[in-house]
């Protein structure tokens, strides 16, 4: 077994900080990579070494395989952790790392390729006990053939992109008269998003829940599931709130779905951490949706109910270790809820907001965890994904976890940009969410912008203090050798502010 000594984290923001933390726990050295706007970010500060990717946008930095590999070579990193997003599900990246003699902390390039093509995944599972939504086995490009198959499947149908998940290229078709134009627009979106216009057709399952199972598999054929996550509170295919376990699964369903998830992993000779996504219809039938071959954003809720550190498990598996536990050794303990914090304005159709974080004061106390990459004064830019933090709570049952989340959301101060924190408060307090009886249409059915409370006046005072903090931080961060008068400058600023306030 080859012990990993130095990991290059090929990511940014909260997940880069998250991975570095586990590396520190394990005494593994870390290398951060950063774009120009990320030069002073938290993950760069926390890493032992940092390498500039010399660019602004993702396409010039975190998505450039050659730059990442060169940074790993330059620093002597013996492994790369891709996090999620960016190159985490790019088979060419996994291959490039392996060819450079660098351990890719994730599944094989072959598994990434197999599961990345949604029709290959479906074909793999044909003849197994894993239930698939009725639909075409293969991609389909001939319009008249596709229309014939759609009527065989029975409307409403869903046209999906073969080359990618996440809803891109997806079209729901209720009326046969709309089929052709929907298929052409789906092919066009798929071509633009993935460079691959292949599509396939499934029976559209009305009002499904999105429930996914966490998989862990070592390189010796041992595979377990770490139970499920309920991810139905979504907006435009973007998960907003996740929880574990789901409030609708019976122990029998959990066992059947867990076995199906393990079957998916085994049939693709999977190793590493992976997630098998299912759709559950209103009759509680479940259907395989897709498999994600990366650590997911929402992994903390699984960590909290199982007590495992999934990044540590990924590293151990990459080192060739045995899992060291079996399914019978695993149990759900308590309940966890995660609220994703996006720099978006929920009162303005969730438009992304940019600016500088003035004040970031995170909640703490019993059962509260915050995974964020935020430092006071940092810039939230349009260059990257607007998710800047995750607030997670745990308690012995769902009611307790929700109650703690409500308290933590009240405590959480993040000013300078609009965020989805008030939206999360709305959801946590909503009786339908609290009942557990909701599906992927919850936001569409129950949320209106007027539900968002505007900022309290107290915040204005905090802003001023925060503004001072940010100025002080900025000066301190950028002070030249001979300044030394930071406190004095700040005193003048305070006087100025007091004069202005009168």
Give the catalytic positions in this structure.
294
Does residue 279 touch ligand MV4 according to CB under 6 A?
yes
316/218 Cα distance (integer angstroms): 9
Q: Which is nearer to ligand MV4, 154 or 366 (CB)?
A: 154
**Residues 436-455 contacting ligand MV4, CB under 6 A:** 440
Taking CB under 6 A as the rule, does residue 85 contact ligand MV4? no
- Asked whether position 169 contacts ligand MV4 by CB under 6 A, the answer is no
CB 454 within 8 A of CB 345: no
Examine residue 340 and tell whether it contacts ligand MV4 (CB under 6 A).
no
Residues 6+ apart with CB under 8 A from 91: 109, 110, 112, 113, 116
> Which of 89, 202, 212, 298 touches ligand MV4 by CB under 6 A?
202
Say if strands 272-280 and 286-292 run parallel, antiparallel, or are unpaired.
antiparallel
Rounded CA-CA distance 152/135 in Å is: 9
Stretch that binds ligand MV4, among 163-171, 242-250, 301-309, 411-419 (CB under 6 A): 163-171
Closer residue to ligand MV4 in complex, CB, 179/204: 204
CA of residue 207 relative to chain centroid, distance: 23
Report the alpha-carbon distance of residue 51 to residue 75 in Å, rounded: 8
| Minimum distance, C-beta of residue 234 to ligand MV4, in the bound complex (Å) | 5
Site for ligand MV4 contains 200 (CB under 6 A): no
**Residue 87 lies near ligand MV4 (rule: CB under 6 A):** no
- 154 touching ligand MV4, by CB under 6 A: no
Pick from 55, 165, 272, 300 the residue near ligand MV4 by CB under 6 A: 165
Contact 414, 360 (CB under 8 A): yes
> Residue from 76, 154, 166, 221 that binds ligand MV4 (CB under 6 A)?
166
**Residue 487 CB coordination number (10 Å):** 9
CB of 289 to ligand MV4, least distance (A): 6
Residue 485, number of CB atoms within 10 A of its CB:
12
Scanning residues 9 to 28, which ones bind ligand MV4 (CB under 6 A)? none
Q: Is the Cβ of residue 154 or residue 365 nearer to ligand MV4 in the bound state?
A: 154
Q: Which two tokens stand for residue 128?
A: 């197994």
Check binding of 119 to ligand MV4 (CB under 6 A): no
Q: Could you say whether residue 229 binds ligand MV4 (CB under 6 A)?
A: no
Interface residue with ligand MV4, options 158, 163, 199, 265 (CB under 6 A): 158
Q: Least distance to ligand MV4 from the beta carbon of 64, Å? A: 27
Q: Is 237 in the site for ligand MV4 (CB under 6 A)?
A: yes
Give whichever of 191 and 203 is closer to ligand MV4, judged by the CB atom. Answer: 203
Pairing of strands 359-361, 368-372: unpaired
d(CA 105, CA 28): 14
Backbone angles phi and psi of 424, in degrees to 5? -65, -35
Q: How far apart are CA 97 and CA 90, in angstroms?
A: 11
Q: Is 383 a residue that touches ligand MV4 (CB under 6 A)? A: no
- Of the pair 289, 380, the CB lying nearest ligand MV4 is at 289
Residue in 208, 346, 367, 377 binding ligand MV4, rule: CB under 6 A: 208
Number of residues that bind ligand MV4 (CB under 6 A): 16
Residue 429's CB is within 10 A of a number of other CB atoms, namely: 14
DSSP state letter for 22: H
Give the β-pairing of 79-81 and 103-104: parallel
Give Cα separations from 353 to 379, 383, 417 (angstroms).
11, 12, 6
Please name which of 348, 311, 242 lies closest in space to residue 7, comparing C-alpha atoms.
311
Q: What are phi and psi of 435, to 5 degrees?
A: -70, -20
d(CA 347, CA 352): 11
Binding of ligand MV4 by 204 (CB under 6 A): yes
Write the binding mask 288 to 327 for ligand MV4: x where contact by CB under 6 A, - elsewhere.
Answer: -x--------------------------------------
CB of 44 to ligand MV4, least distance (A): 32
Q: How far is the CB of 134 from ligand MV4 (least distance, A)?
A: 8
Q: Does 373 bind ligand MV4 (CB under 6 A)?
A: no
Site for ligand MV4 in 122-141 (CB under 6 A): 133
Task: For residues 18 and 441, give the distance between their C-alpha atoms in angstroms, rounded to a whole number.
Answer: 31
Task: Please give the residue ranges that form the binding site for ligand MV4 (CB under 6 A).
Answer: 133, 158, 165-167, 202-205, 208, 210, 234, 237, 279, 289, 440
């Amino acid at each position: 077994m080859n012990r990993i000594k130095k990991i290059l984290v090929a990511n940014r923001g909260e997940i880069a900080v998250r991975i570095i933390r586990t590396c520190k726990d394990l005494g593994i050295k870390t290398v951060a990579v950063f774009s120009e706007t990320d030069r002073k970010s938290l993950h760069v500060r926390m890493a032992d070494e940092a390498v500039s990717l010399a660019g602004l946008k993702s396409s010039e930095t975190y998505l450039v395989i050659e730059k990442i590999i060169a940074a790993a070579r330059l620093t002597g990193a013996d492994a790369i952790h891709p996090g999620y997003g960016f190159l985490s599900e790019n088979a060419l990246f996994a291959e490039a790392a392996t060819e450079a003699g660098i351990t890719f902390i994730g599944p094989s390039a072959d598994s990434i390729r197999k599961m990345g093509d949604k029709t290959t995944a479906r074909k793999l599972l044909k003849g197994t006990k894993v239930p698939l939504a009725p639909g075409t086995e293969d991609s389909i490009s001939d319009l008249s053939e596709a229309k014939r198959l759609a009527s065989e499947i029975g409307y409403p149908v869903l046209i999906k992109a073969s080359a990618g998940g996440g809803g891109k290229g997806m079209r729901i078709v209720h009326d046969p008269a709309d089929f052709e134009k929907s298929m052409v627009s789906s092919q066009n979106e798929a071509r633009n998003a993935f460079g691959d216009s292949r599509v396939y057709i499934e029976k559209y399952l009305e009002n499904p829940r999105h429930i996914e199972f966490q998989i862990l598999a070592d390189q010796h054929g041992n595979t377990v599931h770490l139970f499920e996550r309920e991810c139905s509170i979504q907006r435009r295919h973007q998960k907003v709130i996740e929880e574990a376990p789901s409030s609708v699964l019976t122990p029998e369903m959990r066992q059947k779905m867990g076995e199906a998830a393990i079957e998916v992993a085994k049939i693709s000779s999977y190793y590493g951490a992976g997630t098998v996504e299912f759709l559950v219809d209103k009759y509680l039938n479940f259907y395989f949706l897709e498999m994600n071959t990366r650590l997911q954003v929402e992994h903390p809720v699984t960590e909290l109910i199982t007590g495992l550190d999934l990044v540590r498990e990924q590293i151990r598996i990459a080192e060739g270790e045995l899992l060291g536990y079996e399914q019978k050794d695993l149990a759900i303990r308590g309940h966890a809820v995660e609220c994703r914090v996006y720099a978006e304005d929920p009162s303005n159709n969730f438009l992304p907001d940019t600016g500088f974080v003035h004040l970031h004061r995170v909640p703490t106390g019993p059962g509260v965890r915050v995974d964020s990459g935020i430092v006071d004064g940092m810039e939230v830019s349009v260059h990257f994904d607007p998710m800047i933090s995750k607030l997670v709570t745990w308690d012995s049952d769902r009611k307790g976890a929700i109650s703690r989340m409500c308290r933590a959301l009240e405590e959480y101060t993040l000013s300078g940009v609009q965020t989805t924190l008030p939206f999360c408060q709305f959801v946590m307090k909503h009786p339908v969410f609290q009942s557990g009886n909701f599906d992927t249409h919850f936001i569409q059915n129950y949320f209106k912008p007027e539900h968002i409370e505007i900022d309290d006046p107290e915040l204005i005072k905090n802003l001023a203090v925060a503004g001072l903090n940010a100025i002080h931080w900025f000066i301190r961060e950028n002070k030249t050798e001979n300044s030394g008068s930071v406190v004095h400058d700040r005193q003048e600023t305070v006087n100025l502010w007091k004069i202005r306030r009168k």
